[in-house]
């Protein structure tokens, strides 16, 4: 039975992943952790510890206390916040990852760390971006993501630490709001459609980016964790995607179901610059070949589910 420590467990991914892993492996086998406590199902349903990933001793103490054998490292500063606070982004994303890899080396643990479409940059081929290609990102978040991929590969090759990761696109979910990224608009648009019937988009028409609905993202993590290591030619990190759209396409999809919905634009140049440096669409053939990656939700199925779940959550008829 795996004992898993999840860092950053109260964030957008962690709040859903922790619940999913607890159902699968048992509540006591999934130790959630975060910077602070706050009201959350994650804290109510199983062990929770305060862990700041920039504090190596704190990580080591909790790993030993709970006899952890896998760390899923979700503690991070995302792209938009990272551009405003680059030192914090470096310290958390790289310093935190280094601390986790060191504990993993000493205690013989596996480590899962998500990378991102942000690990690519303006000189990367934009369409059907290959698994192995040019990675010269021009954001601090992207710099930490590509450096993190390389560091995780280094720990696997030099010390045999079982490191695995995926390059997530923008993730869309209804449980916990996103933490300050460039793709956040694709979550906020659903909330605003239901609450106010209108949305002001911070990115311009034609800005295509890869996206994925959270249930597929959770499956990607679980499937890669359970994948046969002898079949993995890549490790850090696999391209995964489920759909690619621009603001007009998601707007039209919502409008089909809510004909009164309106959208206008107020482009934020700092966000637009980040979005323009990322791919339009990823090629995820290697994830499909090596560990049977297979997303279930396209834009239409996601929109049906998001609107249904958010109507209930926001108590809107
Ligand atoms: P999030 O911002 O929602 O959650 C991150 C959590 O980390 C927050 O709860 C925050 O409090 C915590 N944190 C910040 N500093 C910390 C520290 N020093 N120690 C411990 N915890 C700290 O982020 P998320 O969307 O859940 O992302 C998780 C991972 O997935 C990140 O590595 C992110 O880069 C990656 N990812 C996310 C997306 C997405 O669209 N959500 C896309 C690609 C990659
Ligand atoms: N959703 C993330 C961001 O925009 C992608 O890594 O920062």
CATH number assigned to the domain comprising residue 201:
3.90.25
With respect to residue 145, please indicate whether it lies within any of the assigned structural domains: yes
Q: What is the mean pLDDT of the chain?
A: 97
Residue 200 and residue 144 share a domain: no
The mean pLDDT of 278-284, rounded to a whole number, is 98
One domain, residues 222 and 309: no
Residue 269 has pLDDT above 80, yes or no: yes
Supply the pLDDT for residue 2.
Answer: 85
Query: Residues with Cβ < 8 Å from 234, sequence gap 6 or more?
Result: 131, 132, 286, 290
Query: How much is the pLDDT for 198?
Result: 98
Residue 285 lies in a domain: no
Do 116 and 265 have their domain in common? no
Note the pLDDT tens digit of each residue in 102-115: 999 999 999 999 99
Range of the domain at 147: 4-169+214-239
Catalytic residue among 25, 141, 155, 251: 141
* 184: pLDDT strictly greater than 80: yes
Closest to 113 in 3D by CA, of 122, 100, 130: 100
DSSP, res 26: -
In a domain, 288, yes or no: no
Per the domain annotation, does 287 fall within a domain?
no
| Same domain? 75 vs 221 | yes
Residue 180 has pLDDT above 90, yes or no: yes
Ligand with minimal distance to 82 CA: 2
CA distances (Å), 235 to each of 110, 157, 159, 229, 232, in order? 12, 10, 14, 9, 6
102 & 150 share domain: yes
Please report which confidence band the pLDDT of residue 10 belongs to, taking 50, 70 and 90 as the band edges: very high
DSSP assigned state of 27: G
**pLDDT over 90 at 317, yes or no:** no
Question: Omega into 11 within 30° of 0, i.e. cis?
Answer: no
Q: How far apart are CA 129 and CA 122, in angstroms?
A: 12
- The enclosing domain of 77 has a CATH number of 3.40.50.720
Residues 52 and 137 both lie in one domain: yes
Structural domain contains residue 60: yes
Residues 30 and 63 in one domain: yes
What's the token pair of residue 39? 């009201």
- 170 C-beta neighbours (distance < 10 Å), count: 25
The answer to whether position 291 is within a domain reads: no
Q: Is 263 found in the same domain as 119? A: no
Strands (E), the chain: 4-7, 30-34, 48-50, 70-73, 110-112, 115-116, 163-164, 166-168, 170-172, 198-201, 209-213, 238-239, 243-245, 262-265
Known catalytic residue at 191: no
**Same domain (yes/no): 46, 126:** yes
Residue 1 has pLDDT above 80, yes or no: no
Query: Does one domain contain both 122 and 233?
Result: yes
Query: How many angstroms separate the alpha carbon of residue 262 from the centre of ligand 1?
Result: 31
Beta-bridge partner residues of 71: 5, 111
Kindly list the protein residues whose Cβ atom lies closer than 6 A to any atom of ligand 2. Answer: 78-79, 116-118, 141, 170, 181-183
Domains contained in the chain, number: 2
Q: What is the mean pLDDT of residues 90-96?
A: 98
Q: Identify whether the C-beta of residue 299 lies closer than 8 Å to the C-beta of residue 170.
A: no
Cβ–Cβ under 8 Å, residues 225 and 112: yes
Tell me the β-bridge partners of 201: 265
Pair 36, 89 in one domain: yes
Ligand 1 pocket residues where CB is under 6 Å: 7-8, 10-14, 34-35, 51-54, 74-76, 78, 92, 96, 114, 116, 168, 170-171, 178-179, 181, 183
Ligand nearest to the CA of 145: 1
| Domain annotation covers residue 289 | no
71 shares a domain with 205: no
Is the pLDDT at 205 greater than 70? The verdict is yes
- Does residue 136 sit within a domain? yes
| Cβ–Cβ under 8 Å, residues 228 and 164 | no
d(CA 157, CA 171): 30
């Amino acid at each position: 039975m795996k004992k898993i420590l999840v860092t950053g467990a109260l964030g957008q991914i962690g709040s859903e992943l922790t619940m999913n892993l607890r159902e699968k492996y048992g509540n006591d086998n999934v130790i959630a952790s975060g910077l602070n406590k706050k009201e959350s199902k994650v804290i109510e349903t199983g062990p929770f510890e305060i862990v700041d990933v920039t504090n190596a001793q704190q990580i080591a103490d909790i790993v030993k206390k709970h006899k952890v054998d896998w760390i899923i490292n979700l503690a991070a500063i995302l792209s938009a916040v990272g551009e405003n606070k680059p030192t914090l982004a470096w310290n958390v994303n790289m310093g935190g990852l280094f601390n986790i890899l060191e504990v993993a080396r000493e205690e013989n643990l596996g480590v899962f760390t998500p990378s991102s479409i942000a690990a690519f940059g303006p000189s990367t081929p934009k369409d059907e971006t290959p698994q192995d290609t040019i990675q010269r990102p021009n954001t601090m978040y992207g710099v930490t993501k590509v450096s993190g991929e390389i560091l995780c590969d280094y720990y696997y090759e030099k010390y045999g630490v079982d490191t695995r990761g995926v390059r997530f696109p923008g993730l869309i979910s209804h449980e916990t709001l996103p933490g300050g990224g460039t793709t956040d608009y694709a979550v906020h648009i659903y909330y605003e459609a239901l609450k106010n019937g209108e949305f002001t988009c911070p990115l311009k028409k034609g800005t295509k980016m890869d996206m994925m609905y959270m249930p597929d993202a959770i499956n990607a993590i679980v499937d890669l964790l359970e994948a046969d290591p002898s079949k993995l030619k890549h490790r850090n990190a696999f391209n995964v995607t489920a759909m690619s759209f621009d603001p007009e396409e998601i707007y039209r999809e919502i409008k089909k179901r809510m004909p009164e919905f309106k959208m206008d634009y107020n482009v934020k140049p700092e966000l637009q610059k980040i979005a323009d440096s990322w791919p339009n669409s990823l090629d995820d053939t290697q994830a499909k070949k090596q560990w049977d990656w297979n997303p279930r939700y396209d834009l239409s199925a996601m929109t049906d589910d998001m609107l249904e779940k958010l109507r209930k959550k926001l108590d809107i008829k």
